[in-house]
Structure formats: C-alpha cells, structure tokens
Amino acid sequence: MNTMLSARSLDSLRFDNNFVRQLPADPQPENYRRQVQNACYSRVTPTKVSNPKLVAYSKEVAELLNLSQKECESSTFTELFAGNSLLEDMDPFAMCYGGHQFGSWAGQLGDGRAINLGEIINNQDQRWMLQLKGAGPTPYSRSADGLAVLRSSIREFLCSEAMHHLGIPTSRALSIVTTGELVLRDMFYDGHPKDEPGAVVCRVSPSFTRFGNFEILSARNETDLLKKLIDYTIQTDFPHLGTPSAEVYTAWFKEVCRTTVEMILHWMRVGFVHGVMNTDNMSILGLTIDYGPYGWLEGYDANWTPNTTDAQGKRYSFSNQPHIGQWNLLQLANAIYPVVQQKEPLQEALAMYNDLFQKGWNRMMAEKIGLATFNHNSDDTIIGDLIDILQLVETDMTIFFRKLADISDTDMDTASADPLAPLLDAYYAPDTLPDGYREKMTNWLQSYKMRRAQDNLPQSVRREKMNRVNPKYVLRNYLAQLAIDKAETGDYSMVGELLELLRAPYDEQPENENYAVKRPEWARNRAGCSMLSCSS
C-alpha cells in the first residue's frame, strides 16, 4: 500500500477532484487489464518504487500550484511525485478512452501508464489536474508494464516547459523523478530490448480529456454517458459557453476547432512536429499533450516526420499536421453527433477550420518575415516562393528565420559581395550552394526587399517583431539526447541547463550561443538525435 501523508506536508494543495465526483467510475476495484464499460475512469493506486530521486522540477509550475522551493526540494515531494505516497485528499484514477491510431480505430486505449492524482484549485481559483506518467499498470495497460524510462521522461519534461515558454498551448511538467529501478524496453522494436533507468514525470494540465474520451463512449453506444461527459466538460472547462444545450454543444465544438487550429499554427510557426497525432493524443482544450516521438525541423523538409513508425506513410509529417488536425476533429464530430443530433452545425465548424487555418497561416507567415500585415496581392507569392526555396537545399529553419531578421536592405543589394552571406549559418553545406539555388534566393531577397519597403518599418523595429515570433533556441533532439546521456550516468546538470535556457527562447543569451547552432553531423543518424520510435 502507498503511504498516506498528512496534507500539512504540502498544505498549499487544495483538492477538488470534480472529475471523479461528477462522472461514473469503473465498479471493479481490482487493477487488472480489461475492457471497462459504462465508466469514464478506474480508480487505481500508483506502484511504489525502491529509490526515488528528484532530477528536476519547474519553478514556474510549482508557482502555479502554490508550492514553495522548500517544498519542492523536500523528500516528501520526491516520494509524492514518484507515486510512493499520497496526500489524504488525493483520489487517484486512470481515464478510459479510445482513439484512431494512424487513421484506424483502435478501440479502448485509456491511461495505460498515466495515473491522475487529482484536481487542485490554486490560489487564483484555477483548476489543475496532477498526473503521474510511468507510475505503474492500470486496467488500460493492455500488455504493457505501465512504466516509463528516463530518456522519454526527460524529453517530455523539457519539451512541456519549452513549449510553454515558446508561447504554445501545452500541458506542463512539474517534476521528473528517477525510480531507482530498471525498465526493459526495445527502443527500436528490433528484438533487442535492454534495461533502462525508470522515471516518473508529473504532468499538469487544466484537463487531460481527449477526443478519444468521447469516441469510446460513442463507439459503444453509451449515449447517456456520452452526454454526461459532454455536459461535464462544458460546465467544467468551458463554463463561459453557458448551460449545455443543443446550441451550446455546437458552440463548444466550434471552440474546440478554433483552439486546435491555433495550437497547430503555433507548431508550424516554430517548426515543431508532434509525431503521433492520434485522436487519443488530441486535447479537448487545444493543448499539446503526450510528448513522444516529437522533433523540430532541422533541415526544412515539409514531409519530415520524427516518428520511425511513420517513416513510410508520413501521415504525421510537418506539412500534414493541419490536415490531420481537421481529420481528427471530424472523428470527434462523428463521436458527439449522437448527442448533438445536428449535422449542419458540425459541418460548418469543420469548414470554418479551413478558413481559420488559412487566415492564421497568412498572418503567421507575414509575422515570421517581418511584414506589418498580410497583403493578398503580393504575399501569397512571396511566402509560397520562400517555402519552395527553403526545401531546395538543407536549410535549418530556426536559424534561417532568425538570421533573416538581421538582414538590412544593404545586405540584400545584389551589388554586394554575397547577398546570401548573412544567411550562411543556416545552411548545412554553405560552401557548396548550387548556382541555381543562389540565383533563386537572391531573386527572392530582391522581391522581399521591395515588399518590405511598402511597410516603411525601421530595420530595428522589424527585427524586434520578427524575433518575438522566431525563436533562437528550441529543444533540438540532439540537445535532449546529450542531456539524456549525462542523466543516465547520474549527472542531471544538463537537464537543468536546458530548462534554464528554454525559459527565454526568444532572447539572445550570448553565453549560450553553442545551443543555437545546427545539428552536428555526428547527430544526423544517431538514435534519439533525429527520428525516434514510440518506445518509452
């Protein structure tokens, strides 16, 4: 049994646990793998571990939860967020949900290795769910062990916080704790498993409800429960929409479409690729969740996916993310239709998605290249030509747009020694740029110069605007892997260094220039530094 701690040890946590109070539980108390019917969750207790040690915690998330530094660095905190102890007001559970995986219905999935500790209300009356990932098996674990390894836990911890500081809607991460135990994993799914250090991440979000929570109830024709979950979600997470009704249901779906568009536009802005956009990985709040085989574009390649499982089909590639977002919303629309009972408003919302994305894309790309506003008469061509040119030679997306902000009109003068000189740091082979490419980019720079002149913005103002949307620092896979390599020897220093770096991704940080360079050649094909599997 898990030890029960007095609430006085972390007395700033006020639990509300509305989800388990309002929605029906699995009546079976035993924790064994099974199909769970007519329930939204199963109560389950985290598995105790032998020797938990705190790797890192996010001070910003701690502040959200009204936790002090002293509390976060206490042994009580480590025991609690390793799953070894529970506060007396916690009511841990695992959610039941289904999902479409790689386009096919997968049936019941659920929290196979995530255990929600409960919902707290902070001093600002905000609701936050605390969830442990890697805290042991649940009824939804199928054939898996419910555990997580250090490498994937570090990647999730760092990326959750990096995305927040980039201004991207995301779940957060409070802490990462090693367990002192080994976990067997086949990282490449090639029949060569090995033992890896185990770890537990504490995720934090207003809600972890996914598209798949609604899909499973609809697929099972549990319509009364589906309505109850929809009503609960609106009342809890969308109270501004009013009392649930036919009209409010469609307003709710439109809002989910809108927030999903906004999230994906942010992904596209910074070159982030989620890697596994299954419907069970889509937040009803439009938050980025479930950081598995993600990555940032190194060389700009619209068809790149970081997921080895998706290497052939490229369903979840960078350029396909907007389409998949709409496809996933279509599955959600199908799932809630038995309650909504109106086809046209759902179709209108899905059509609205296209319009919102296109307008958002135009606005976002205009901001990335420093234009005051998007001009349909000229900017479709300017932006489209740039996207095409970026893919002709291997060009680092993050560095390219950051360097573009530094280019003055004089730099773009064809009479200068080399108009491309300010951009050379972005190219993986700057000394061998083909003449044809040089000509195309030089011509584009001239068109860009003429278009910029229409805005009459001072260079310093344009540069500042561009640098607010084009980050200098992102969590490149090779950086995460270097931190993992150290951590697996017991040295957690680089986890802390990257966490600190990524708190200010748009700032220059002169002392950290070594983190703002292209992926080194040694990392091009190394495991964990480019593509990744779903193994964690």
What are the strands, taking DSSP E only, across 163-290? 172-185, 194-205, 272-273
DSSP-assigned beta bridge partners for residue 198: 149
Q: Cα 460–464–466 angle (5° rounding)? A: 115
Beta strands 3-5 and 85-87 are: parallel
Neighbours of 311 (CB within 10 A): 12
Neighbours of 457 (CB within 10 A): 16
- Interatomic CA distance for residues 180 and 201, integer angstroms: 14
Q: Could you please report the per-residue DSSP string of 479-515?
A: HHHHHHHHHTTT--HHHHHHHHHTTSTTS--GGGGGG
Residues in the chain: 536
- Interatomic CA distance for residues 132 and 77, integer angstroms: 13
Examine the residue annotation and report whether 280 is marked as an active-site residue of this protein: yes
- CA quadruple 221, 226, 227, 230: dihedral sign: negative
Find the catalytic residue in 26, 111, 280, 310.
280
First to last CA, the chain: 26
Residue 120: phi, psi to the nearest 5? -115, 155
Q: Which pairs from 482-491 meet CB under 8 Å and 24+ separation?
A: 483/154, 483/158, 484/150, 484/151, 484/154, 484/155, 484/528, 487/55, 487/150, 487/154, 487/197, 488/150, 488/151, 488/196, 488/197
DSSP-derived 3-state class of residue 135: strand
Distance of CA 50 to the CA centre of its chain: 30
- Interatomic CA distance for residues 339 and 334, integer angstroms: 10
- Interatomic CA distance for residues 445 and 435, integer angstroms: 15
Please report where in the chains the tokens 């195309």 appear, as a residue. Answer: 440
- Interatomic CA distance for residues 155 and 150, integer angstroms: 9
Residue positions annotated with a catalytic role: 280
